[in-house]
Amino acid sequence: GGTPVKFHEMTFPELREVSRSATVVLAPIAELYVIIRVGASIGFLNTLAVIIAVGFIGSWLVKREGMRTWARFNQTIASGQIPAKEMIDGVLILGAGALLLTPGFLSDVLGIVMLFPPTRAVLRAYVSKRVQAGNFVVRTVRPGDVHRPGANGPIVDTDATEPKGEI
């Protein structure tokens, strides 16, 4: 008998990276599969027409929801409050627009989920909880930056506290 093969146990960040990579590879394959199946069912021209129509209707809906969110954003600012809800909604609507303009039926479904106010509220609550728990990271990179920690000087670790109930 041979010696048993021992596999490397993955840490959570490694597992998350593998999951992201798999999504990047599998999502377009799944989209293409669904487009081919729909095309076989309703025909190529009808499939193309649906994809184009969803793009136009989706862009109109994104504009409408975006304008409503922009108005609420301005009202919240005018009342002296932090527009946290409106900012999260804006990011979700932007993402919905990108998904609705991407050819494919699966991305359209996810885009509609992000755009439809009741389901967007559920996603907003999820994002808010991640932000409050500190599990949300925003990274900024300037052109010409070397992408490794501390490459352009010392790392400064900071904490911020939101006023209660703002996010």
Q: In whole numbers, what is the pLDDT of the chain averaged over residues? A: 84
The one-letter amino acid code at 100 reads L
Six-digit token pair at 142? 């300037």
The one-letter amino acid code at 162 reads E
What's the pTM?
0.70
Least confident interval from 25-39, 52-66, 106-120, 128-142: 128-142
The pLDDT score that the predictor gives to residue 129 is 86
Greater model confidence, 142 or 68: 68
The one-character DSSP state at 141 is: -
pLDDT tens per residue across span 5-16? 666 677 777 878
The 10 Å Cβ neighbour count of residue 30 is 15
Greater model confidence, 45 or 163: 45
The pLDDT score that the predictor gives to residue 167 is 54
The pLDDT score that the predictor gives to residue 143 is 64
* Best CA proximity match to 98, nearest among 106, 89, 107, 90: 107
Six-digit token pair at 137? 């990271």
The pLDDT score that the predictor gives to residue 90 is 95
